[in-house]
Every structure is written in C-alpha cells, then in structure tokens.
Structure 1
C-alpha cells in the first residue's frame, strides 16, 4: 500500500526505519493544519506496520496523532464511538492480535 504514503513516508516504509529526524518530518506532514485526516491516520498505521526499526519519538507521535484523530477530531468529540472503535480494532487487530507496545499504548490512551 505504498501508494497511499506521502513521498517522505514512502521512503521510510521502503527502508523499514524511522529516525528521530524522520519523526520531525512526519510531525510536519500530519499536523500542518492542526488536524489529522482519515487518509493520514490510515497511512500512520501502515507506516507503523512497515517499520520495525523506529526511534522512540515515533511511538510518541503514533500514539499522540491517532489519539487526537480518534478522540478529539472524530465525532462525537471526546468519545470513542462504535464506528471509530471498529476502525481502530480493524487496524490494531488486523491479524487477530495487537502487534506490539505502540499499539497497546494507543489503546490505553484512547480509552482514558
């Protein structure tokens, strides 16, 4: 699904790596207008799955951006609707299990 990534994120996905400098680039890509789109949220998940070697700052951005999207930008704001929960489960448990601590941390943050 590399076609959905912006060019900079595509290169990270191909390399399978996200550096601290990459995290700064990604933050600028997903927050230029202060909001995260559905497309951005989708490719954030895909990038997470594609990259096994990541800087710890990626975990922070991953959890922050997707929590913002699901809890504070999607309707109803401040609440995880059934539809939004289904979207999240579809990404987190796409192979029947949670893949790693980043996704577990995201689940905890979204439910708080």
Structure 2
C-alpha cells in the first residue's frame, strides 16, 4: 500500500479538481445538469481512483485504478475543450487547466511504468 497523501500525482489531481470547481462556477445555470455535472464527475474520479488504487493490495491493482484515473483525465480534457468550443468559457481560462490535465496524464503514464 502507498500513502496517498505522499503521491505528487494525487496532490496534483486534487489541485486540478479544485480548479475545475472554480472554473465551472462560471457556467450558465442551464448547464447545471449538463456539462457541469459531467465535468465534476470526471474531475473527482481522478484523485478518487488514484486513492483507491493506492489502498489496494498489489501494484497490479494499483495500476488498474491508475488506468481508470488516466481515462478520466482524458475525458475531462475533452470536456474542457468543449467548454471553449461551445463558447461557454473562454479558451484563456480553460487552457491552463487543460495543461494541468496533460501534466497529470504524463505523470500517470510514468507512474504506471514504475509499478
């Protein structure tokens, strides 16, 4: 088992999730149950799956949950692009968050290779 609080990737994904909640607070109210909900779920899924994997009994299981977290990161990245493409939130605001997603994706890939 790994102590999740010591994992840089988990801490970065917590930061990503906090930034997502701030960003989507700018969405129009008619998106409350549309992209808003889906984006929150994708964001929360990333640190949650890292934590679940860290609490498992083997590196094989940990790698599986890291893979799920990585998929959620790509899902979130797509949703952020949609926010910009649909002119719901400016690209200037979404781009830094997308860059953090990409950084986490790279970290995830490297971490899985080490497991």
What TM-score does the superposition give when structure 1 sets the normalisation length?
Answer: 0.35
What TM-score does the superposition give when structure 2 sets the normalisation length?
Answer: 0.35
Q: Which has more helix, going by share of residues? A: 2
Greater Rg by CA: 2
